[in-house]
Chains A and B, each alone.
Chain A
């Protein structure tokens, strides 16, 4: 059921087997996967509607690469404590949750047409990489009915968790303090607590609660809030096609399962290791397009309309196809991610998405001032390393050389402006503020997502990423949440006989 937290009697103490804080990308799949397993679940959402970050996102789904899970000398603090193969079954399920079609990210198997560019050979460039696009699915709306009909799941909206209460030893969560904007306050007692509120709010809650811990408690982990990072992206250069531009396949194509896909250009994993490069992927986009790296705003919307009007004036015969694409982009239930001119262009723009190093100095901190509920606000001190930009430059140079060698076209970029192109604005979604690892000094949670020093506190989703790779985090967030749900069921061992799985 879904209820407004203002209707919970003031001062009561709600009980549940699992309390999930945050009904968003990780929280909703996690809570629904726990439903029907003989556990009672309480899902707290600070906003008035569930959905979190999925309410406004671009829908891009890309899994991490196997090399992202390895410790690489060229990426300090890299290496996941879990394997890519271990996460694979959850990736397949995560794809279904995000409605991005089948878990198939090889263009050779998914798209019937040939490669992005013909005649590229050698072992350096990979042209069959793929990114899939979700509807984009808003979890709050898509799975609302499931949340409503689940008898063992209670969703409270407008419920902001303000503190985690530890017991005297600091080793177990005793309860949670919850407040609403209207002033209602109540508590929650749970056998396990999962923080799934995104990298910023999870870190804020942990940092706030760290101060509340009794003196000498082992809760205080230095890594909380550190290593905040995200994939860097931007339009970095241009690509001029050498042959017939109609033979380039760089736009959106629909897979048989209905999901829109786009091809990506990546560098072979062995080459990355040999040359000491960080992971990167490039997309070729229309040169006059805003690109999906641009912020969604009314101004960007009008600029796009202006661009298309200008394009139509030059090629009026494109009008029907542009209108159809406009309909697919703005009205259709599965959105075409971007409207692009249908006439093949010789000159394209290059969008690069590159991994960022996780730095301990890049962190989120508590500010002095508090909000209306008495929680200290968050200050984001996101830092970058010039090595990230340098790696991007070398990756682009390598791509450029290879494409020129194969006589496919000319990739041009200005090294001097690369830094500005990649760091022109802070990333939309940070990861890594409660990273996963085995070392207590450099990580916050263990490979299962449990805090190293607290027996029943778990973190799900973006905060646990040790490294971000070049992929958007949404798909991996959902996969990790589903994995944590399985681990929780094993750990909590439901006392009642599990019902048939109904809701997840």
Chain B
């Protein structure tokens, strides 16, 4: 089976390409729609013609490019159009938790979209509609809605939080960190995408699945566990008001003091009592979720190895010449 992975330069996409390369049933091509072309890097498909060309003889396309800040929902419409012309391969689209808005509830896949949605939620919902339109033409399509992706290599889910924990800008937030984290290991997202590619055909309808590990804790618990695992101790208890002030000045503090960016959106997420119901994915995609302690250990080990290597580079610049 020929599988095209879009967003192969991003965290989930890169890991998916690596895992698909090990799968005996798949011939994978990693591609990206933007970013600089690199030798040995993913294929660059920045024109409709290049995209149409890449889709020829493709059995399935997995679009993992939504986490890119420059991503726009129109890209999914373009992809659907090109795919339709190339013989309607199966499409798997990685959406996100933002489609559920700011509500406090258990979110099932059939939960109606809230009336008020953020910019990101609106964009993802628009993209899901394009996927729906594509499926309505008789094609097969699956939408995956992962919670917060973490694990080795995760910048937003691990690295940035660990840096903030280290410099005392993050810790136990009390009621402000009481929301559900809906963490999902990057390998579980990739396993779900691979199973979605292989699902029995159901043309004409979009199948949607939430992805979040059932044992994912509340944010406070995750912050404390991560801090203990990386040695950012003693864990600080932080007040809400200074956190909000710092978040409001986030970009300035980042550029002036080099502090890791904590945005107001992140603060809102951390206090949101929203829990993804991922029972359908467990059942249909036959997922065995990575246990939370295992995922935490992997994430902390990855971060510490990365921090050590960065420290080594800083101390011994002569051994690490800048890459050309």
* Chain A interface residues toward B at CB < 8 A: 96, 99, 135, 141-142, 144-146, 149, 151, 254-258, 332-334, 499-500, 502-503
Chain B residue numbers with a CB within 8 Å of A255 are: 234
Distance to closest chain B CB from A236 (angstroms): 32
The reply to whether the CB of B238 lies closer than 8 angstroms to some CB of chain A is yes
- Chain A minimum-CB-distance residue to B178: A145
Note all chain A residues with C-beta closer than 8 A to B228.
256-257
Complex A-B: 29 CB contacts under 8 Å: A99-B174, A135-B174, A135-B237, A142-B174, A144-B175, A145-B104, A145-B175, A145-B178, A145-B273, A146-B273, A149-B104, A149-B105, A254-B234, A256-B233, A256-B234, A256-B235, A257-B224, A257-B233, A258-B234, A258-B235, A258-B237, A332-B237, A333-B237, A333-B239, A334-B236, A499-B106, A500-B106, A502-B105, A502-B273
Residues of B235-257 at the interface with A, using a CB-CB cut-off of 8 Å, are 235-239
CB-nearest residue of chain B to A148: B104
B277 at the interface (CB under 8 A from A): yes
Pair B273/A258 contact, Cβ less than 8 Å? no
Contact A145 to B271, CB < 8 A, known contacts A256-B228, A256-B234? yes
Per-residue CB proximity of B197-226 to A under 8 Å, as 1/0? 000000000000000001000000100100
Which of B's residues lie within 8 Å of A, judged by CB?
A: 104-106, 171-172, 174-175, 178, 180, 214, 221, 224, 228, 233-239, 271, 273, 275, 277, 279
Q: Are A146 and B106 in contact (CB under 8 A)?
A: no
A334 touches B237 (CB 8 A): yes
Distance between A148 CB and nearest chain B CB, rounded to angstroms: 8
Complex CA–CA separation, A231 to B133 (angstroms)? 70
- Residues of B within 8 Å of A334, CB to CB, are 172, 236-237
> Whole-angstrom distance between the alpha carbons of A333 and B237 in the complex?
6
Quick check: B275 and A500 within 8 Å, CB to CB?
yes
In the bound complex, CA of A145 to CA of B221 (Å): 17
On whether A257 and B234 interact (CB within 8 A), knowing A145-B271, A146-B273, the answer reads yes
B270 to chain A, nearest CB (A): 12
| Least distance between B279 CB and chain A CB atoms (Å) | 8
A210 to B: closest C-beta gap in Å: 40
How many pairs, one residue from A and one from B, have CB atoms within 8 Å of each other in the complex? 59
Distance, CA A256 to CA B172, complexed state (A): 12
How far is B237's CA from A502's CA once the two chains are assembled, in angstroms? Answer: 24
The reply to whether A99 and B172 form a contact with Cβ atoms under 8 Å apart is yes
Separation in Å of the A336 CB from the closest CB of chain B?
11
Residue of A nearest to B239 (CB): A333
Report yes or no: A142 in contact with B175, Cβ–Cβ below 8 A. Answer: yes
Report yes or no: B273 in contact with A149, Cβ–Cβ below 8 A: yes
Residue of A nearest to B180 (CB): A502
Residues of B within 8 A of A151 (CB): 105
Q: Across the interface, name the chain B residue whose C-beta is closest to A141.
A: B175
Bound CA span A257–B178, Å: 17
Q: Which residues of A contact B224 (CB under 8 A)?
A: 257-258
Q: How far is the CA of A332 from the CA of B239 in the complex (A)?
A: 8
- Which of chain B's residues has its CB closest to A36's CB? B106
Q: How far is the CB of A132 from chain B (nearest CB, A)?
A: 13
How far, in angstroms, from A145 to B105 measured CA to CA in the complex? Answer: 12
- Rounded to whole Å, the gap between the CB of B174 and the closest CB of chain A is 6
**Whose C-beta in chain B lies nearest to the C-beta of A149?**
B104
A332 to B171, CA, bound (A): 13
Q: Enumerate chain B residues within 8 angstroms of A333, measured Cβ to Cβ.
A: 174, 237-239
Known: A142-B175, A145-B175, A257-B228. A503 touches B238 (CB 8 A): no
Residues in chain A near residue B235, CB distance under 8 A:
256-258
A146 CA / B277 CA spacing, docked (Å): 18
Closest 4 CB pairs of A and B: A334-B237, A256-B233, A258-B235, A149-B104
Nearest-neighbor residue (CB-CB) of B236 within chain A: A258
Q: CB-nearest residue of chain B relative to A257?
A: B235
What residues of chain B lie closer than 8 Å to A142, measured between beta carbons?
Answer: 174-175
- Complex CA gap A145/B271 in Å reads 9
Chain A residues whose CB sits within 8 angstroms of the CB of B180 once the complex forms: 502
Report A503 CB to chain B, min CB distance, Å: 7
A257 CA / B225 CA spacing, docked (Å): 9
Specify which of B171, B233, B237, B277 is in contact with A500 (CB 8 Å cutoff): B277
- A502 near B234: Cβ-Cβ < 8 Å: no
How far, in angstroms, from A146 to B275 measured CA to CA in the complex? 13
A28 to chain B, nearest CB (A): 13
**Complex Cα distance A277/B29, Å?**
76
Q: Give CA–CA (A135, B172) in the complex, Å.
A: 11
Min C-beta distance of A411 to chain B, whole Å:
31
Question: In the complex, are the beta carbons of B178 and A146 less than 8 A apart?
Answer: yes
The complex places the Cα of A135 from the Cα of B236 at a distance, in Å, of 11
Which chain A residue shows the least CB distance to B279? A500
Q: Is the pair A502, B175 in contact by a Cβ cutoff of 8 Å?
A: no
CA distance A256 to B234 in the complex (A): 4
- Which of these, A258, A332, A502, contacts B106 with CB under 8 Å? A502
In Å, the complex CA distance between A334 and B238 comes to 8
Contact assessment for A503 and B273 in the assembled complex, using a CB-CB cutoff below 8 Å: yes
CA distance A19 to B107 in the complex (A): 27
Q: Which residues of A contact B238 (CB under 8 A)?
A: 333
A144 CA to B273 CA, complexed, in Å? 12
Chain A, Cβ-Cβ closest to B231 = A256
Q: How many whole Å from A355's CB to the nearest CB in chain B? A: 32
Query: Which residues of chain A are within 8 angstroms of B221 by Cβ–Cβ distance?
Result: 96
Q: How far is the CA of A376 from the CA of B186 in the complex (A)?
A: 62
A142 CA / B273 CA spacing, docked (Å): 14
18 extra interface residue pairs, beta carbon distance < 8 Å, beyond A141-B175, A333-B174, A502-B273: A96-B221, A99-B174, A135-B174, A142-B174, A145-B175, A145-B273, A146-B273, A149-B104, A258-B233, A258-B234, A258-B237, A332-B237, A333-B239, A500-B277, A502-B105, A502-B106, A502-B180, A503-B273
A142 to B236: give the CA distance in the assembly, Å: 17
User: Nearest-CB distance from B217 to chain A (Å)?
Assistant: 10
In the bound complex, CA of A402 to CA of B275 (Å): 56
Chain A residues closer than 8 Å to B171, beta-carbon distance: 258
Chain A residues, Cβ within 8 Å of B233: 256-258
User: Given the complex, which residues of B lie within 8 Å of A135, measured CB to CB?
Assistant: 174, 237
Which residues from chain B contact A254 at a C-beta distance below 8 Å? 234
| A99, B180: Cα distance in complex, Å | 17
- A145-B178, A502-B273 known; A258 and B172 CB under 8 Å? yes
Nearest to B217 among chain A residues (CB) is A96
Q: Output the least CB separation between B231 and chain A (Å).
A: 8
- By a CB distance below 8 angstroms, the chain B residues around A499 are 106
Please give the distance in Å from A55's CB to the nearest CB on chain B. Answer: 15
Q: Given the complex, which residues of A lie within 8 Å of B236, measured CB to CB?
A: 258, 334
Which residues from chain A contact B174 at a C-beta distance below 8 Å? Answer: 99, 135, 142, 333
Residues of B within 8 A of A332 (CB): 237
Closest B residue, CB atoms, query A503: B273
- CB proximity of A130 to chain B, nearest CB, Å: 15
**CA of A96 to CA of B224 in the docked complex: distance in angstroms?**
11
Q: How far is the CA of A254 from the CA of B172 in the complex (A)?
A: 14
Minimum CB–CB distance from A142 to chain B (whole Å) comes to 6
Which B residues are in CB contact (< 8 Å) with A258?
171-172, 224, 233-237
In angstroms, Cα B277 to Cα A500, docked, is 7
Question: Chain A's nearest CB lies how many Å from the CB of B213?
Answer: 12
Smallest Cβ-Cβ distance to B173: which chain A residue: A333
Closest residue of chain A to B221, judged by CB? A96
Nearest Cβ on chain B to A94's Cβ, whole angstroms: 15
- On chain B, the residues within 8 Å of A257 by CB distance are 224, 228, 233-235
Complex alpha-carbon distance, A500 and B239, angstroms: 30
